[in-house]
Chains A and B, each alone.
Chain A
Amino acid sequence: MRCIVQLDIGPLRVEMVSRWLALNVALTLVACTAAAQVDSVRVDANDAPLGEVLNGFAAAHRIDVVYSDRQVSARRVTCMYTGTEVDAALACILAGQDLVARRIRRRQYVLSRVAGSDQGTASSAMRGLLRGIVTDAVSGEVLPDAHIFLSQFAVGTVTNEAGYFALPSLPTESFRLRVSFLGYGVADTVIAANGDLHAISLHPASVEAGEVIVQSERQEAAPVDPGALQVPVNEIQGLPGLPGEADLLQALRWLPSIQKVGAGEGGLIVRGGQPDQNLYLIDGAPIYHAWHAFNLLSVFQTEAFKNINLYQGTFPAEHGGRLSAVLDVELKDGSQEKLRALAAVGFLSGRFVFETPLARNLSAMVSGRRSFIDQILGTVHPVSNGAVRDTMRTGLYLYDLNGKITWRPSARHRLSLSAYGGRDVFDIRLPFDLALRFRTSLDVSSWLRPSSLFFEVDTRWSNRLLSARYQYQYRDRLFVTATGYMSGYSARERFYIRPVATSSVSSQYRVSIQDLGLKVDVDYYLFLTHQMRMGIRLVQRDFFSDLEALILRTQTSSDRSQEESRLNALEFVAYVQDTWQPTRRLKAQPGLRFSMLQRGTGMRLSPRLGLRYALDDVVLRGAFGVNVQYMHRIRDRYSYLYDLVSYRWVPASRSVDPSSSLHASVGAVHSPQPSLNLSLDTYVHVTRGLLLPRDEYQTKDGLEGPGIGLGALLGQYTSGRALAYGLEANVRWERGLHAAWISYAAGRSRSRAPELDEPRFRPTRFDAPQRLRLAVQRETLRWTFGLSGFWRSGYPITIPVARYAVGDPLDEEPTRFLYFPNINNGRLPPYLRFGGLVAYRFAVGQTQIRVQGQLYNLTLRRNVVDRFYDPSGVESVMVQSRRGLPAIPLFEIVATY
């Protein structure tokens, strides 16, 4: 059998792509190889034991016949067959017995009893259905994406969002099931395929209990979904690092595929993509701005979630709309058993999680987080200087609030309502000559004084989300999930600056995006080896921004700006995907996604494919997918009056193509022993329709700009292409009290704007060819000691290559300039940082308390994070380096009831 892999990458014929593909073709072929055709089938048995005949037949023809000893014991058969049909040969072997061999998939048969022999049929014997719901044994919470493995047939499945699974087309017998879920103990159980709904509970693993914890990437648990990774957040969030408290996106940095970069415009970069190419979902609804405090914290409070799935590079067909990654998290339903509570205070914020049953089949969860710096500094400061009084403000805070209520009126119905709200406020009014006082005292009042010259900044941004989900088990093999949601991001930048008593600049700029969406997903458990999922999505998006600004120079000289921009877009998506297990070793998930934006961008088809091939101790995996993103996140690059901290999402249109990408990856997971888990993946990611700055050197340097209109904004960008490729390795070792984690990534990320006549691809802003993370940990019943290190190549920097002087008719003498012929033509020095952690646990009554201290940047290394060149002097060009953070002590106290 030949397996042809054909990739259409359009006009972007990059040599690296073909080179990468050549390296991976061998691995891909392994997954596509089928066994040789059976040429002739021969059986010659004369009053021989049935078990022996079946074994010999299976071995001779390389097929798998599944049966129990009880079925074949004390049976003898006589059969003479010569031909080409395996089915006919098996029928010959079983002739006269009350047994039938049923083919459940290619080269695999199962023996089942023919009920009533004279009235039953083979198909009736295969109508057994094994189904159930997997829950947390402590809280009663359903567990999505738990792995169900039927070892007898080497068939597995995963639970859906309601924790439901079904394995149809089985003999009506009892089977041994292995059920596992990340962070939980494994459950082995025997249940009957009689169509009843079985409840299976998993116990959360704990260090105290010494249980076996399911690690990510364990062979039998390695998901087939393209790009999928179940995140072991409980493990990695305890590793040392900023901000020293539970935060999901900060924890994800420990995965080799992920970079957390920079303040302001930064975010998460997955496999060389861009921060705006990641989709963040809470209970199926998108969050547009996932960061607080200029990217120091994310909006994801880890303890509030029960299931965290990350899809890297390519996604199952049900997900889309972004090019790099999808982070899909589920809020906890709330404990159905008893009250549970968590309270914590850390370096930046305090937080809580509260779960409780409200009534029979009704539970709730509420969680929240708030920073407290404003409570220490104060927010409003009346100040006076003799007769002059003023009010200064230092209002800086952020908060998150999550809530979910879940109602299960019956086993077939489940309804949940989720809400999230979060906000950042940066509200300050300060005199201009603040600095001298600022450095001499920690008493805020002493920094301040009434002043006729001051600046006020009131910037706030927020996310709001409301999601309702209804899950309905329509038939035993048909499950419907409908989700309706509203989600929005809004930001307001307001400032008032008075640099001269009679002059001022005032501005108010607002930007928002609002989604109203509906999703319907249908799970259909077609056969034992086919599980279909299909669905539709309909999203109405409204984009808004407006600006009111007044620049008052003198009584007679002023400029006023008043602009408003409104856009909307309707996006429709339909998809279908099949999780298919054609052989014992091979599992595939092909899918097709159709999408369309009602702004003249045409229809797009996105094929997806996930493959998993299990060898004896290695699992090979591959993924391929085409992604389409109908929105671009851009910002004005000229004016200080708008887009200072906020971003604008703009929809694709006839004049601005959507971005699209092609992603392919191949990898392997290997567990040579239970305590050791190794994984290695390679990928290539090609992007088209990327918006790149038309003038990379342009920085905000003026009050007035081209305006907030879409045309003025898009005029600052040009269409570009990007190419990323790399290799990721992960090693996880755990034995007794000790654990170690090593993640290494090597890769390149480059972009090119053909319209700007760029001759070749250049490194993107955060291209880091090599990254290495290392963590070791010792954890006893009471103490945890951790040490971590992070090393990466320096980020690209644009280095001047020469200096020159040139004049202007209005200048008295020429000005000296630096010549930067190539963007990102050099690199900063490598970055290296270590961190240390000590934690102590103890109990007070029923409350578990964990006290944790960290030291960020343990070795006090001041990494170079930027470099500046000053050409103004006559002598050689001055080079100045900006250094990274010094050592920072961090603390956290967590109490769990």
Chain B
Amino acid sequence: MGFRRILIFLLFLLGCDSVQPEYTSWLVVEAFVTTEAPLPVIQLRRTQPLSVPYYLDESTAATGAELLLKLGSAEIPYVMEAPGLYMPAQQAKAKAGTPIGLHIAWNGQSILAESRIPPTLGLDSVSVARSQTPVAGLIVDSLFIDPILVDSLGFDSLRTGAREGLVYLVEATLHWSVAFAEVGPDSAWWVRTQLLPQLRAGGRLDDYFLRPEQLQRERQVNALVPGNRAWSGVYAVPVATQSDPIPVHTLRVSVIRSSRAYALYVSGRTNPSEREPPSNVTGGLGIFTGLAMDSLSITVQ
């Protein structure tokens, strides 16, 4: 009888799971403090259970929070202007190199985050080149077969949903200067460069094989001459027929210099169904970082 009891206990011990997922509400911080710019509006939201809709309105806004922004040695309180939107009680500008911190008291929780203001960044020039005629190009939503899917041996596993179309390839090159006194040749900052054409439709695969966006350490960015950085990106513009000219469109080019925490945050945003972007907010989710940014919009035709 004793042996049976031990056996039953063992089976119970080996078979049970000690972890059960359960819902808790977390605070989501969205705060980007830009170099040499007025202090930003800080957006606070809260998480919702999976089973309820998630609207971007007051139903998900985090209200009643107490915010205190530390800018160097100064402490700047924030007040809520609209549900989830918090404004600085006094104006100030963030200087390059200044350490910044955020303390939030919300719903009995204490949320903390820290960062640093990066040196300023400005685009010197942008050059754009495009193919003279459209070329055949792949228009798909996805290509690669997940190796796990092969396991199912389902015939539809190999369906790529691809179609052949015509595209113009547009290459844009961004130049910016680097102040070595502030950044240095061994900069620990990261830069994110992006080409964002305002088009009706695009192809994700084109984006995948081309390069409309990149995130890298600044010291690894191509340096044409000392003190300068250059980056080239390519995107595709679909057209219907071989004789169609390239559609006139607006291209926004952007470059951001920021922290490693921001780089992790950006690189973790690519697959929302499988992961959340890594957060540098202790006790909450989201991002709090200093960044320097420049952006231009140009017309391509």
Complex contact A435–B159 (CB within 8 A): yes
Q: Which residue of B lies closest to A725 (CB)?
A: B14
Complex contact B206–A801 (CB within 8 A): no
Nearest Cβ in chain B — how far from A845, in angstroms?
39
Interface set, chain B 230-273, CB cutoff 8 A to A: 232, 234, 236, 254, 256, 265-266, 268-273
B202 within 8 A of A: no
Interface stretch, picked from A185-193, A647-655, A863-871, is A863-871
B285 within 8 A of A: yes
Given that A439-B155, A802-B47 are known contacts, is A817 also in contact with B272, CB under 8 Å in the complex? yes
B120 within 8 A of A: no
Question: Which of B19, B196, B266 lies at the interface centre, i.e. has the most chain A CB atoms within 10 A of its CB?
Answer: B19
Complex contact A438–B158 (CB within 8 A): yes
Interface set, chain A 504-555, CB cutoff 8 A to B: 505, 551, 553-554
Complex contact A814–B137 (CB within 8 A): no
Nearest Cβ in chain A — how far from B153, in angstroms?
6
How far does the alpha carbon of A806 sit from the alpha carbon of B266 in the complex, in Å?
A: 11
Interface stretch, picked from A35-43, A160-168, A879-887, is A879-887
Complex contact B152–A805 (CB within 8 A): no
Complex contact A500–B50 (CB within 8 A): no
Partner of B276, one of A556, A818, A865: A818
Interface stretch, picked from A48-56, A357-365, A697-705, is A697-705
Complex contact A435–B162 (CB within 8 A): yes
B43 within 8 A of A: yes
Complex contact B164–A803 (CB within 8 A): no
Q: Which residue of A lies closest to B149 (CB)?
A: A882
Complex contact B53–A453 (CB within 8 A): no
How far does the alpha carbon of A808 sit from the alpha carbon of B46 in the complex, in Å?
A: 17
Partner of B232, one of A455, A557, A746: A557
A809 within 8 A of B: yes
Given that A500-B138, A804-B26, A806-B287 are known contacts, is A882 also in contact with B152, CB under 8 Å in the complex? yes
Complex contact B234–A553 (CB within 8 A): yes
Nearest Cβ in chain B — how far from A604, in angstroms?
31
Given that A23-B6, A553-B209, A885-B153 are known contacts, is A809 also in contact with B291, CB under 8 Å in the complex? yes
Contacts of B254 in A (CB 8 A): 810
Contacts of A763 in B (CB 8 A): 17, 19
Partner of B11, one of A294, A556, A746, A822: A746
Interface stretch, picked from B66-74, B106-114, B140-148, B183-191, is B140-148
Complex contact A804–B47 (CB within 8 A): yes
Contacts of A770 in B (CB 8 A): 11, 14-15
Q: Which residue of A lies closest to B169 (CB)?
A: A554
Complex contact B271–A701 (CB within 8 A): yes
Nearest Cβ in chain B — how far from A633, in angstroms?
16
Contacts of A822 in B (CB 8 A): 19, 21
Complex contact A262–B151 (CB within 8 A): yes
Interface set, chain A 849-897, CB cutoff 8 A to B: 865-866, 868-872, 874-877, 882-885
Given that A263-B147, A557-B234, A800-B50 are known contacts, is A885 also in contact with B152, CB under 8 Å in the complex? yes
Complex contact A814–B46 (CB within 8 A): no
Contacts of A885 in B (CB 8 A): 152-153
Nearest Cβ in chain B — how far from A436, in angstroms?
8
How far does the alpha carbon of A819 sit from the alpha carbon of B143 in the complex, in Å?
A: 27
Complex contact A805–B147 (CB within 8 A): no
Q: Interface size on B (CB < 8 Å)?
A: 92
Nearest Cβ in chain B — how far from A665, in angstroms?
14
A388 within 8 A of B: no
Partner of A804, one of B32, B155, B256, B285: B285
Contacts of A875 in B (CB 8 A): 53
Complex contact B50–A803 (CB within 8 A): yes
How far does the alpha carbon of A746 sit from the alpha carbon of B13 in the complex, in Å?
A: 9
B125 within 8 A of A: no
Complex contact B158–A809 (CB within 8 A): no
Q: Which residue of B lies closest to A746 (CB)?
A: B14
Partner of B56, one of A551, A808, A813, A866: A813
Complex contact A435–B158 (CB within 8 A): yes
Q: Which residue of A lies closest to B34 (CB)?
A: A809
Interface set, chain B 27-59, CB cutoff 8 A to A: 28-30, 32, 43, 45-56
How far does the alpha carbon of A817 sit from the alpha carbon of B151 in the complex, in Å?
A: 28
Nearest Cβ in chain B — how far from A509, in angstroms?
16
Partner of A876, one of B50, B135, B266: B50
B97 within 8 A of A: no
B226 within 8 A of A: no
Complex contact B26–A865 (CB within 8 A): no
B299 within 8 A of A: no
Complex contact A815–B269 (CB within 8 A): yes
Complex contact B272–A818 (CB within 8 A): yes
A178 within 8 A of B: no
Interface size on A, as a range, is 35 or more
Complex contact A804–B194 (CB within 8 A): no
Contacts of B151 in A (CB 8 A): 262-264, 294, 865
How far does the alpha carbon of A294 sit from the alpha carbon of B46 in the complex, in Å?
A: 43
Q: Which residue of A lies closest to B293 (CB)?
A: A809
How far does the alpha carbon of A107 sit from the alpha carbon of B39 in the complex, in Å?
A: 90
Contacts of B160 in A (CB 8 A): 432-435
Contacts of B48 in A (CB 8 A): 802-804
How far does the alpha carbon of A557 sit from the alpha carbon of B235 in the complex, in Å?
A: 11
Contacts of A451 in B (CB 8 A): 164
B16 within 8 A of A: yes
Nearest Cβ in chain B — how far from A693, in angstroms?
12
Nearest Cβ in chain B — how far from A736, in angstroms?
31
How far does the alpha carbon of A699 sit from the alpha carbon of B272 in the complex, in Å?
A: 12
Partner of A747, one of B14, B163, B211: B14
Nearest Cβ in chain B — how far from A480, in angstroms?
45
Given that A294-B151, A727-B14, A803-B47 are known contacts, is A819 also in contact with B163, CB under 8 Å in the complex? no
Contacts of A803 in B (CB 8 A): 47-50, 54
Complex contact B273–A870 (CB within 8 A): yes
Nearest Cβ in chain A — how far from B262, in angstroms?
9
Nearest Cβ in chain B — how far from A272, in angstroms?
11
Partner of B234, one of A554, A725, A726, A870: A554
Q: Which residue of A lies closest to B235 (CB)?
A: A553
| 0/1 string, B125-143, CB within 8 A of A gives 1 | 0000101000111101001
Nearest Cβ in chain B — how far from A563, in angstroms?
16
Interface set, chain A 777-828, CB cutoff 8 A to B: 793, 799-810, 813-820, 822, 825-827
Contacts of A814 in B (CB 8 A): 30, 56
Complex contact A557–B171 (CB within 8 A): yes
Contacts of B277 in A (CB 8 A): 806, 817
A640 within 8 A of B: yes
Complex contact B137–A434 (CB within 8 A): no
A769 within 8 A of B: yes
Nearest Cβ in chain B — how far from A799, in angstroms?
5
Contacts of B196 in A (CB 8 A): 810
| 0/1 string, B78-96, CB within 8 A of A gives 1 | 0000000000000000000
A502 within 8 A of B: yes
Given that A435-B158, A499-B205, A746-B15 are known contacts, is A869 also in contact with B50, CB under 8 Å in the complex? yes
Contacts of B301 in A (CB 8 A): none
B298 within 8 A of A: no
Complex contact B152–A793 (CB within 8 A): no
Complex contact A432–B30 (CB within 8 A): no
Contacts of B137 in A (CB 8 A): 453, 499-501
A497 within 8 A of B: yes
Contacts of A825 in B (CB 8 A): 19-21
Question: Which of A503, A697, A726, A865 lies at the interface centre, i.e. has the most chain B CB atoms within 10 A of its CB?
Answer: A503
Given that A435-B158, A804-B28, A818-B276 are known contacts, is A264 also in contact with B10, CB under 8 Å in the complex? no
Complex contact A805–B56 (CB within 8 A): yes
Partner of B136, one of A500, A769, A810, A868: A500
Complex contact B136–A805 (CB within 8 A): no
Complex contact B14–A726 (CB within 8 A): yes
Complex contact A819–B47 (CB within 8 A): yes
Q: Can you identify 6 A-B contacts, CB atoms within 8 angstroms?
A: A438-B158, A703-B209, A727-B11, A770-B11, A804-B45, A807-B30
The 5 A-B pairs at the shortest CB distance, nearest first, are namely A802-B47, A263-B151, A697-B275, A746-B14, A435-B159
